[in-house]
A and B are shown apart, each in its own frame.
Chain A
Amino acid sequence: MNQTIIKLLYTLLGLFIVLNWGMLMGATMRKIVARLAGRYGIPIYQPWISLINLYTKRTSITHGMMFYLGPVFRLGGGVGMFLFIPMIFGSEHFSNFSWSGDLVLILYFQFFGMLGMALGAGEGGHPYSIIGISRGLAQFTTVEIPMTLAVISIAIQYNTLSITEIVAAQQGSIFNWTLFTNPLATAAAMLSLLGIFRHAPFNLVKAPNEIPIGPPTEYHSSFLGVLRTNNAILHVVEAVLFMNLFFGGATNWIELIVKSFFIYFWSVFVGVVSPRFRIEQSVTWFLKIPLVIGILAIIIFI
């Protein structure tokens, strides 16, 4: 009993670190993008101030029960993913609640938040949020296909569905990383990562200058605050998932921070040099090259 409480406290500490690192990472990336455009950019502490501002708005309105539950489901998806991913390899406290089949559960949690958001945005009643969410679901479904193929490929390769065991198999040398032992799966997954982080060219769903900001059109004050909190957590957790699967995991927090930064930076790097795809372009893009690479990654193991 006592051990469970200690584990829970460490998990909460991990969540706190992940949340703050997610906000700092987001701010750093916005700063990098601004410098690239020749601007000075936001102050580095801007996301925290915005979050305080959102949570302490004086008024807020609701459109019904599902409107409340939408952000809660989204946060549930992010925190759920966090709970089942081992953050630090070999650490007793920061491996969270990972278990032998966590890889499948995490693939499920990836979609869970999206579906909750769809229900919430639908109840908002704004036609723009309906268009936004249907675009988002269409795109995310096609993003999931190469991602899932890559995951199946490495599950066959390592003969396990446990993330901890996959990380353990990659220890020893940099050449044991999945990046080198299974480059096809890594390529398929890294291309689908662009769709998961939704920077350009795949940012049509939530771009402020398309139909106003897509699904969260009606969301404001603390509803939007919850969505932003989740965004920060989700960015780090997704990066950590990819780090665990393809880049050898991390044995301490510094390693985690450096690796997750570069994995997130990959999507920003592609984003700043790319224009935006229309939704049918991005859907067909994911069903061409990443899908073929993903299928090849499975075929070589049969």
Chain B
Amino acid sequence: MSENDNKKKNTEDRFLAEENKQRIVISPEGEEITINPLEDYFCDERPEIVAPKNKVVEKFLNWARAESLWVLGFGTGCGSIEIPPLLTPRFDAFRFGVQMRPTPRQSSVIIISGYLAVKTLKRVIRSYEQMQSPKYVIALGSCTINGGMYYDSYNTINRLDYYIPVDTYVTGCMPRPEALLAGFNHLKERIKAGKAEGANEYAEKFDWYKANQKKIIKDWNMPDYNW
């Protein structure tokens, strides 16, 4: 894309935040520099498929991945209130190797806990793409499967796996923490069997996922892939 096209595209983009628009600034030396935050601050590269290593090594690594699930502290909808009890003495998810991490960079599991508003979907996509492969998604509650009681809402999505690849569904409205623990165990079995390849699936069908996401997010104002 030439510079002019880029500029044109940016000025036309009415959803773009003011600080993200392309602009010309004067450097301390008096030179004029063009700054395009979307290109300068974000990496716009497509995700790549990373093939698993040989069978024996991968089996061992999958075991290690399954026994150490680092969950992103990210709550959407009513299900997020079911997650804190997991860490209390009553349910104690630590004994299954489940830990909460505060940043997407360090976590390997994201729990979509209930109905997903379109505005939140945008944040989910950004968080999911910042996580490092291999990464897994647990969808909690009926709302992520078919919309649940919000099936005809104007502002929530109905099926989560149109937008990001889901590894495990936990049904119910709301599922209790025990159900979520069972979900973790199911995810572990899938990882150990080598079936949880969500990150590669996302890279493989990237265009399809992006088209779906852009269809529902009308104010798309971020790069297509923001690591």
Contact = CB atoms under 8 A, between A and B. Distances in A.
A207 B108 CA distance: 19
A209 B84 CA distance: 13
Contacts of B43: 61
A212 B68 CA distance: 20
B50 A58 contact: yes
Nearest to A52: B64
B159 interface: no
> For this complex, into which size category does the number of interface residues on chain A fall?
20 to 34
B133 to A, nearest CB: 4
A208 B70 CA distance: 13
Interface string B89-127: 100101101001111011010000000000000000000
A53 interface: yes
A43 B89 contact: no
B94 A39 contact: yes
Contact of B227 (A57, A61, A219): A61
Contacts of A39: 88-89, 92, 94-95
Interface in B35-72: 43, 50, 61, 64-65, 67-68, 70
A104 interface: no
B148 interface: no
B94 A42 contact: yes
Contacts of B95: 39-43
Interface in A202-236: 208-209, 212-213, 216-221, 224
A48 to B, nearest CB: 9
A38 interface: yes
Contacts, number: 76
A52 B68 CA distance: 10
A3 interface: no
Contact of B67 (A37, A41, A49, A60): A49
Given A38-B89, A39-B89, A53-B68, A208 B94 contact: no
A281 interface: no
B132 A53 contact: no
Contact of A224 (B61, B89, B106): B106
Given A212-B102, A217-B105, A49 B97 contact: yes
A56 B61 contact: yes
A34 B64 contact: no
A173 interface: no
Contacts of A60: 132
Contacts of A41: 92, 94-95
A57 B70 CA distance: 12
A53 B133 contact: no
B175 interface: no
B162 to A, nearest CB: 24
Interface in A168-225: 208-209, 212-213, 216-221, 224
Nearest to A57: B132
Contacts of B68: 46, 49-50, 53
Contacts of A40: 92, 94-95
B151 to A, nearest CB: 34
Among A53, A213, A221, the most chain B Cβ lie within 10 Å of the Cβ of: A53
A92 to B, nearest CB: 38
A226 to B, nearest CB: 13
A209 B227 CA distance: 23
A49 B64 contact: yes
Contacts of A220: 105-106, 132
B75 interface: no
A38 B94 CA distance: 12
6 contacts: A41-B95, A42-B94, A43-B67, A43-B97, A52-B61, A218-B105
The list of the 7 closest CB pairs from A to B, nearest first, reads: A212-B102, A38-B89, A220-B105, A58-B50, A58-B133, A52-B64, A59-B133
